[in-house]
Amino acid sequence: MTDPALRRDDYLGGRLSLWQPAKGYRAGIDPVLLASACPAKPGQSVLELGCGVGTAALCLATRVPDLVLVGVERQPEMASLARRNAAECGAHLEIVEADLTQLPPELRQRSFDHVIANPPYFQRDRSHSSPHGAREAAMGEETALADWVAVAARRLAPKGWLTMIHRPERLGDILCCLAGLGSVQIQPLLPREGRDANLILLRARKGGKAPLRLHAPVILHQGRMHEFDGEDYRPEISRLLRDGAPFPGLGAAI
């Protein structure tokens, strides 16, 4: 019997189906964009901080074979769903149930080629909290953004890459936190032509020395406004959302 508290949503054109809470927070396109921007290669290791039900990690696993995947999630119900989702799609995703600032010793002894993260976007001293626990944990910043970046940097192997998705208004905060990380690449994402960016993708490399790169904006939707029912993503964005293609804007992470 289906649990009415859950629903199953399709990602990557139905190549991936994930259980999520029926009410409250459900992952949208942000973790799919995050996964598409991670430059992982087969055989490499990836740690996701705050993995939720596993959306980004499992989207990445669908695109790139033979990854060593670990997800950290502090909410027991979300961690349980991430394990279920990984098992049902046949992915090898290890879920560690822990607060990212209090990782277990065995995880603190490991390093990774990549760390990916979709931290909560909103500072709660400047915005209102959600009544839904899972949504509030996903969207409301309780753990400082500086802690997310510091933990990611510690878990990266030398020359490893951090890939994040966040809001443009937090870019200054992120850049101030990147101690030990360089070769920064910033990709603005615009919802439509003529609009301001409402998301950014950011990459930074442990020990990287290359100059900061601010890439040309990528526009997600066609046209200046929504003019018809249904989706109107640009073809290159539709390919990554439906087919699991890598992100088209960021340069190669060599």
pLDDT at 133: 47
Q: Compute CA 175 distance to the chain's CA centroid, rounded to the nearest angstrom.
A: 18
Work out whether strand 6-11 and strand 16-21 pair parallel, antiparallel, or are unpaired: antiparallel
Q: What percent of the chain has pLDDT over 90?
A: 81
- SS3 state of residue 152: helix
Round to whole Å and give the CA distance between 92 and 104. Answer: 20
Q: Are 197 and 188 in contact (CB under 8 A)?
A: yes
Amino acid at 195: R
Average pLDDT over residues 21-28: 88
Q: What does the pLDDT look like over 188-201, one tens digit per residue?
A: 999 999 999 999 99
pLDDT at 227: 62
Helical ranges in 92-219 per DSSP H? 105-108, 133-139, 145-155, 171-176
Kindly give, in sequence order, each residue whose CB lies less than 8 Å from that of residue 90, ignoring residues fewer than 6 positions away: none
pLDDT at 137: 45
- SS3 state of residue 163: strand
Query: Counting runs of H as helices and runs of E as strands, what totals does the chain give?
Result: 8, 13
Q: What is the band of 230 on the pLDDT scale with cuts at 50, 70, 90?
A: low
Round to whole Å and give the CA distance between 161 and 180. Answer: 12
Work out whether strand 199-206 and strand 156-166 pair parallel, antiparallel, or are unpaired: antiparallel
pLDDT at 127: 42
The mean pLDDT of the chain is 90
pLDDT at 221: 95
pLDDT at 142: 84
Domains and CATH numbers, the chain: 29-242 (3.40.50.150)
Q: What is the band of 164 on the pLDDT scale with cuts at 50, 70, 90?
A: very high
Round to whole Å and give the CA distance between 237 and 230. Answer: 15
pLDDT at 135: 43
Structure tokens at 145: 């953004």
130 pLDDT above the threshold of 50 = no
For residue 243, the surrounding DSSP H or E stretch is helix 235-243
Amino acid at 226: H
- SS3 state of residue 199: strand
Residues belonging to the chain: 254
* Total Cβ atoms within 10 A of residue 132: 14
Task: Look up the pTM and report it.
Answer: 0.89
pLDDT at 240: 94
Torsion angle of C-alpha atoms 190, 21, 203, 37, degrees rounded to 10: -70
Q: What is the band of 223 on the pLDDT scale with cuts at 50, 70, 90?
A: confident
50 pLDDT above the threshold of 90 = yes
pLDDT at 25: 83
Amino acid at 180: G
Q: What is the band of 4 on the pLDDT scale with cuts at 50, 70, 90?
A: confident
pLDDT at 26: 86
Q: 21-35, 94-108, 157-171, 184-198: lowest mean pLDDT where? A: 21-35
